[in-house]
A and B are shown apart, each in its own frame.
Chain A
Amino acid sequence: MDEGLRGELSRHGIFTTSLEGLYNWGRKNSIWPLQFGLACCAIEMIAATMARYDLARFGAEVFRPSPRQADLMIVAGTVTKKMAPQVVRLYNQMPEPKYVIAMGACAISGGPFKQGYNVLKGIDRYIPVDVHIPGCPPRPEALLHAFMTLQKRIDAQKLTGPSRPRHLVEEAPSEFPIPDFGPHDLTPGKNSAIWAPPRKAQGV
């Protein structure tokens, strides 16, 4: 619709929008995160929901204890290998459309505990991540920024065409394989369909 016409109409009290805009507007302003914390970063996540930072301003204060009711998984903290299968399982139990924020250095790459034998080197080895927040721990403001980033992303989604979001693509997977406990390590160590080692480290 022509912007001038839209402005003209709104001056007369007539509000127009597209179905896409309305749909995305509704989704982005009521993101229900999963009430789920892993480590130190989770404390900053809780702090972000409290009075001073007030996550409620973004419509995301309704933390749900059950994955079946949640839209967003904030992976806040170190994912250990013992925990990783549970994290993937929780993600699988969430209904589409669903998003993931990897909060903190640990969730991104293992962070300070990267050399640990029981530490997963980044949750994106098993599930797709939408927003990464660096920091150890990221400040609550950083989490708010991540929320705004996620909202912008949702807002920009086209509902048709090849770049439409995953939940509108019939054949796209909404569940991801859960790794098993092996004798020395998780098997497999990554989900090759969604993650490959960075090219630089491959020696390319």
Chain B
Amino acid sequence: MSSSNLQLEAPLDPAFKVERRTATGRGDLLEVSMGPQHPSTHGVFRMDVVLDGERVTKLKPVFGYLHRNHEKIAENTTYLGSMPYTDRLDYFCSLTNNWAYALTVEKLAGLQPPERAEYIRVITAEFTRLQNHVCLIGFLLQDMGASGTPLMYAFREREAILDLFESLTGARMMCNYMRFGGCRVDLPSGWLDQASKVVDRFPRFLDEFDRLISGNEILAARTQGVGVLPRELAVSASVTGPVLRASGVNYDIRKVDKYGIYDRFSFRVPLGDHGDVYDRYMVRVLEMHESLAILKSALRDIPPGPIMDPKAKLRSFKPKAGEAYGRIESAKGELGFYVISDGSANPYRYRVRPPSLINLTVLEDMCVGHTVADAVIILGSIDIVLGEVDR
């Protein structure tokens, strides 16, 4: 800078000058309670965080703000009476919740849903997965600061799928559709064509999203190397679903248990290498492509026929004493139901194995050392729904 035209006046009082002090901060840690009302905790989730400046040094999740006593209520009602409650566990994925519960009770009572019902289950479950992953990615990007647009796109696609659910089950979100031994109603006429249209249109959205987001520099900078979950820890902490697979563990219950008719479809299981937020994001994107492949062949092959096991009884349903554990690969991970029957009309013990809650076991391990802003996207990449975390 040239000093020629900048003539500072000499101060009147030479002692009246800015005095520079040295910082005397003692480096105190700051305890922050994020939530239960916080715009980026995906509901009423709370984390008690200890911060050193911007860095997280300790993080303790606090649960229970949406503890709705699902299990207690289920033990005081009939088997079928709990079906609508399962919708409200992971309220993005009511149909897969239905399926997991139906599967468990079918094991308990020895029921076998007919072909067509199995196909309908696969179709609705894969649509649910699509819809869940789309929203998750929207929310994740929202957390990253991409305010609005990705979420708008995601909800646009979600609405198309919800329309399908609505015309099939009568409800957008709370479908209450599956029954022990089959499904509640058959597909309405024209539904398959409508569904095929949604399936055909979906790749366009995925490509658009891919071009917009997946190669984006900001996305890469914010997510690569952030929130790394090592493989051994993931297994030992019972992490399941896309989070587990992003850490490189090949475990998809659709492949392992082959429940329903998943052995009839050929699909691949995407795996990550690094176990960071980016891998978790990409695993979900790839899973959506595979879901579309499953949907295509299921929509093509679905046979006509009955949709209920003739042995199934809706009213005064009393399975014999015993216990069963059924599990499926929901969009979040392993969703399991454990039911003990004592021979009466109500389950003696009814337990939901919530993937969202158990995946949070490793939240602290993933967040320590990162900034608060990263903690938010690490949480977002686990994909939790509070209805399922707290039940």
Contact = CB atoms under 8 A, between A and B. Distances in A.
B72 interface: yes
B91 A46 contact: no
A184 to B, nearest CB: 14
B84 interface: yes
A126 B295 CA distance: 48
Contacts of A52: 155-156, 159
Contacts, number: 90
Interface stretch (A2-10, A79-87, A156-164, A171-179): A79-87
Contacts of B64: 80, 82, 118
A60 interface: no
B76 A115 contact: yes
Contacts of A115: 69, 72-73, 76
A40 B173 contact: yes
Nearest to A38: B44
Interface string B43-69: 110000000000000000000111111
Nearest to A40: B91
A83 B65 contact: yes
Chain A contact surface mostly: loop
A43 B68 contact: no
Nearest to B88: A40
Nearest to A46: B155
Contacts of A86: 36-37, 65
A119 B69 contact: yes
Contacts of A112: 84-85, 88
Given A51-B152, A117-B69, A118-B67, A35 B39 contact: yes
Contacts of A44: 172-173
A37 interface: yes
Interface in A20-46: 35-40, 42-44, 46
Give the most central of A36, A39, A136: most B CB within 10 Å: A39
Interface string A114-143: 011111000000000000000011010000
A194 interface: no
Given A39-B386, A136-B174, A51 B155 contact: yes
B71 to A, nearest CB: 10
Given A52-B156, A83-B44, A90-B37, A113 B73 contact: yes
Contacts of A42: 43
Contacts of B386: 39
Contacts of B181: none
A89 to B, nearest CB: 9
Nearest to B76: A115
Given A36-B37, A40-B174, A47-B155, A82 B85 contact: no
Nearest to B159: A52
Nearest to A136: B174
B92 interface: yes
Given A83-B36, A112-B85, A117-B69, 10 more contacts: A38-B44, A39-B43, A39-B68, A44-B173, A47-B159, A52-B156, A83-B65, A113-B70, A115-B72, A116-B73
6 contacts: A39-B68, A39-B386, A43-B92, A82-B65, A115-B76, A117-B72
